[in-house]
């Protein structure tokens, strides 16, 4: 599920020649006055942008621009302005006076193009240069002016000795000076972006640490990486401040850095076109089909004092639909920004909206999504209000059971019944933080924290991992007990039943269970060669949820795989170098257990190979000195003959009815070879290789590793290709043999 970055905004592009006329300027002025938000009338002046704080605004349908202003002090070295929206926008800056409509012809600086975000950066060295005083900011929608535009506008002013601002829009990486006292770099994550990526050159050292602080007390910390990803699934939108420190020694004097935003979802539909469904009414929505949408949204007006309401979606076509509800604004990212949702795999879906107190007055937006089925599928959507003191809420009609601190509780989520299992949590007075830890899930699960008052989601942890952690800070600590709902969520309809165990604690993470002092692995003492080969074949997962397979080639945890298994953005692009999730099988008939995090030691784009090393377990603990993982010895592919039997091991996505699969072994023969410059480059086999097998094991009759499955050939994928182990560079082999001499081929 790779995301494509937004086109890079042009840094300080001189505006093109304007086409302004006197009549046109008068029309623009009238439209600006009519469409400006409160506080932006001519008599009050445009709103002032507070540095680093996003100004949310709504531009009325038909209005041509939103205008704001920012004060630039004499000591400023740079001014940065970001405009993001739910439709394409242009951004114009002018010093000293607001523009009167001829934006293209009169603006000092502009960022123009068909994208949902625009950035302008101005420094003292630019022409025209940064000047002291008031700068006026104009945001102009370039498409869809027949509907309102939801805007985010934020300004940053760089000063000597202050944090450096890094934003998309630079044509190449930026040099950043790192003072010995600890550098601070700030950036901005728009709500319309799916995530943000910071790339670094010169920070990949174990002694360097980073701490990233964002909105809503969000904190990310760890070893300094060549790449830091802030995904909107777990990172709130807004300004982020990144601090780099060294545990010992000095920081590097200078590093190279660049920023990109991951493209967000499609713009929300115009509100005027959304059907209104009042409590007590219903509507039929048609989803799917050759030209129909797979999702539709409706508006639900809610009056003051309403205890709550439920939305039901039913169809007779046997299709699975999900529902998402949000108050105040249309949804854009599904479960990532919904206040309420229903995710069962039933044909009859129901979401309950409400909590212990009456709902806030306003408009609630409900999105219905066709999950399975081609359509067209008629879905009847019905809204019903329930009376006060009905005892219902987001949790359903039965009060959720409590979960107390310190004890590990086993639970189960059934996707066709609920998709969510709720616990009641009481946070005592004075608690500074709440920590929830979920372990041993048989499939990836997620955690959400909801308010007891209205049942809405306030924080969520959504990752592809089967262990999940949610950390909530309370600033200031509550003066009295506070009540919340902790939800365990299954977002995958193909995982009908998922078991797990969970614990919570206050002011510190829960202590780990005694059986997890160190992750166990499969006992292969009396196992057959086939089982030993399966035990050494691992599943790899990277931070965007994709991945593949790998082979452990030393008991110290050296893992050989394909480089493309680790690629994050595009084919042949950068790879994830730290924190690669490694899962070893503990049983042949069960999915592998995600137990370790690995780092990349070497990678080779031309050979499509990478060598990783287990760095720690999923709890951040370093491996013990006597670590002994299942492993496979390197064989010799040069000894293979055409027609010789070979086996392929890995974790193909088509190997199970569920979202993850136990290890799969397929048998075939050597179908042929490919060579270049007298050296074998490919082993061809008719053993089945599927999506997800990449990076796994191709073994000979002695169950030695002779190749790394990488690709398939033909329209029916009838031939698989594997990289011969002789392609592994000698330097890599020396590292593996140095860790365990018996691993030599």
- Give the H/E segment covering residue 730: helix 730-739
Q: What's the rounded Cα separation, in Å, for the pair 631 and 559?
A: 9
* Domain count of the fold of the chain: 5
Q: Please, what is the end-to-end C-alpha distance for the chain in angstroms? A: 36
Asked whether residue 402 is assigned to any structural domain, the reply reads no
Burial of 619 (0-12, 13-18, 19+ CB in 10 A): middle
Q: What's the rounded Cα separation, in Å, for the pair 81 and 62?
A: 24
Burial of 127 (0-12, 13-18, 19+ CB in 10 A): exposed
Q: Which domain holds residue 90?
A: 22-158
Within 8 A by CB and 6+ apart from 665, the residues are 530, 533, 534, 647, 648, 649
pLDDT at 309: 95
Q: Return averaged pLDDT per consecutive 10 residues of the chain, 745 residues in all.
A: 27 27 29 33 66 80 84 91 85 86 75 75 86 89 70 89 78 63 79 78 70 77 72 76 77 75 54 83 90 88 91 92 89 79 86 91 92 86 85 85 93 83 94 93 90 90 86 86 93 83 94 80 88 95 87 94 85 82 91 91 92 91 88 91 94 79 93 86 91 92 93 75 93 83 58
Q: Do 303 and 221 belong together in one domain?
A: no
Listed in sequence order, the DSSP H helices in 4-89 are 22-35
Last residue of a domain, one of 464, 491, 514: 514
Residue 533, classed as helix, strand or coil, is helix
Q: CATH code at 240?
A: 2.60.120.380
pLDDT at 9: 25
Asked whether residue 14 is assigned to any structural domain, the reply reads no
Q: What's the rounded Cα separation, in Å, for the pair 691 and 654?
A: 7
Q: Do 487 and 523 belong together in one domain?
A: no
Distance of CA 620 to the CA centre of its chain: 21
Q: Do 486 and 586 belong together in one domain?
A: no
Asked whether residue 5 is assigned to any structural domain, the reply reads no
Residue 31, classed as helix, strand or coil, is helix
Last residue of a domain, one of 514, 533, 562: 514
pLDDT at 143: 63
Paired tokens of 745:
């081929």
Within 8 A by CB and 6+ apart from 23, the residues are none
Q: Do 616 and 731 belong together in one domain?
A: yes
Q: Do 188 and 281 belong together in one domain?
A: no
Asked whether residue 17 is assigned to any structural domain, the reply reads no
Taking the whole predicted model, whether its pTM rises above 0.85 is answered as: no
Structure-derived torsion over alpha carbons of residues 591, 594, 595, 599, reported in degrees to the nearest 10: 130
Asked whether residue 62 is assigned to any structural domain, the reply reads yes
Q: Do 525 and 656 belong together in one domain?
A: yes
């Amino acid at each position: 599920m790779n995301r494509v970055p937004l086109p890079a905004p042009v840094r300080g592009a001189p505006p093109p020649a304007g086409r302004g006329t006197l009549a046109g300027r008068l029309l623009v002025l009238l439209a600006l006055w009519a469409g400006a938000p409160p506080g932006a009338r001519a008599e009050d002046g445009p709103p002032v942008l507070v540095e680093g704080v996003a100004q949310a605004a709504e531009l009325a349908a038909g209005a041509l621009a939103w205008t704001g202003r920012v004060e630039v002090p004499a000591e400023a070295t740079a001014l940065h302005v970001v405009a993001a929206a739910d439709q394409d926008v242009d951004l114009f800056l002018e010093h000293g006076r607001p523009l009167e409509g001829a934006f293209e012809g009169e603006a000092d600086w502009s960022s123009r193009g068909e994208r949902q975000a625009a950035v302008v950066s101005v420094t003292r060295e630019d022409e025209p240069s940064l000047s002291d005083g008031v700068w006026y900011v104009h945001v102009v929608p370039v498409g869809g002016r027949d509907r309102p535009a939801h805007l985010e506008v934020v300004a940053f002013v760089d000063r000597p000795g202050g944090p450096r601002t890094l934003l998309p829009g630079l044509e190449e990486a930026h040099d950043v000076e790192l003072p010995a006292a600890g550098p601070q770099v700030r950036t901005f994550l728009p709500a319309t972006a799916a995530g943000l990526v910071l790339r670094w050159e010169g920070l990949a050292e174990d002694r360097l640490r980073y701490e990233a602080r964002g909105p809503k007390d969000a904190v990310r910390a760890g070893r300094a990486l060549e790449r830091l990803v802030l995904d909107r699934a777990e990172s709130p939108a807004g300004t982020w401040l990144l601090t780099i420190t060294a545990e010992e020694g000095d920081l590097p004097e200078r590093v190279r850095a660049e920023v990109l935003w991951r493209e967000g979802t499609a713009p929300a539909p115009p509100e005027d076109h959304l059907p209104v469904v009042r409590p007590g009414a219903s509507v039929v929505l048609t989803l799917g089909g050759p030209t129909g949408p797979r999702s539709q949204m409706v508006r639900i007006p809610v009056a003051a004092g309403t205890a709550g309401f439920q939305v039901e979606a039913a169809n007779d076509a046997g299709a699975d639909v999900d529902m998402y509800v949000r108050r105040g604004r249309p949804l854009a990212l599904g479960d990532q920004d919904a206040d309420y949702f229903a995710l069962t795999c039933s044909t009859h879906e129901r979401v309950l909206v409400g909590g212990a107190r009456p709902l806030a007055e306003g408009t609630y937006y409900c999105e219905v999504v066709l999950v399975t089925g081609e359509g067209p599928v008629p879905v009847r959507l019905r809204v019903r209000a329930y009376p006060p003191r009905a005892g219902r809420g987001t949790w359903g009609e039965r009060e959720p059971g409590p979960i107390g601190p310190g004890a590990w509780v086993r639970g189960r989520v059934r996707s066709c019944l609920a998709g969510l299992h709720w616990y009641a949590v009481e946070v005592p007075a004075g608690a500074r933080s709440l920590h929830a830890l979920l372990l041993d899930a048989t499939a990836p699960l997620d955690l959400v924290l909801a308010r007891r008052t209205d049942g809405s989601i306030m924080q969520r942890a959504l990752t592809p991992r089967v262990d999940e952690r949610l950390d909530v800070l309370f600033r200031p600590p509550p003066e009295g007990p506070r009540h919340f709902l902790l939800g365990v969520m299954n977002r995958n309809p193909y995982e009908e039943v998922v078991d797990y165990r969970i614990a919570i604690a206050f002011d510190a993470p829960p202590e780990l269970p005694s059986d997890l002092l160190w992750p166990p692995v499969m006992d292969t003492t009396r196992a057959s060669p086939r089982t030993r080969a399966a035990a050494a074949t691992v599943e790899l997962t990277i931070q965007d949820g994709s991945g593949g397979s790998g082979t452990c080639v030393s008991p110290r945890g050296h893992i050989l795989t394909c480089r493309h298994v680790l690629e994050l953005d595009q084919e042949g692009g950068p790879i994830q170098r730290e924190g690669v999730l490694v899962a070893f099988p503990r049983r042949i008939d069960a999915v592998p257990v995600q137990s370790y995090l690995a780092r990349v030691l070497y990678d080779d784009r031309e050979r499509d190979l990478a060598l990783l090393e287990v760095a720690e377990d999923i709890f951040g603990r370093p491996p013990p000195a006597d670590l002994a993982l299942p492993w496979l010895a390197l064989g010799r592919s040069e000894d293979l003959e055409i027609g010789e039997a070979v086996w392929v091991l890995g974790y193909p996505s088509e190997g199970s009815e569920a979202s993850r699969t136990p290890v799969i072994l397929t048998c075939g023969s050597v179908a042929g070879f490919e060579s270049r410059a007298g050296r074998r480059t490919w082993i061809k086999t008719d053993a089945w290789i599927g999506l997800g097998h990449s990076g796994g094991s191709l073994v000979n009759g002695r169950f030695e590793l002779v190749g790394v499955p990488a690709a398939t050939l033909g329209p029916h994928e009838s031939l698989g290709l594997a990289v011969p182990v002789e392609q592994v560079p000698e330097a890599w082999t020396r590292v593996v043999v140095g860790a365990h001499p018996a691993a030599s081929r």
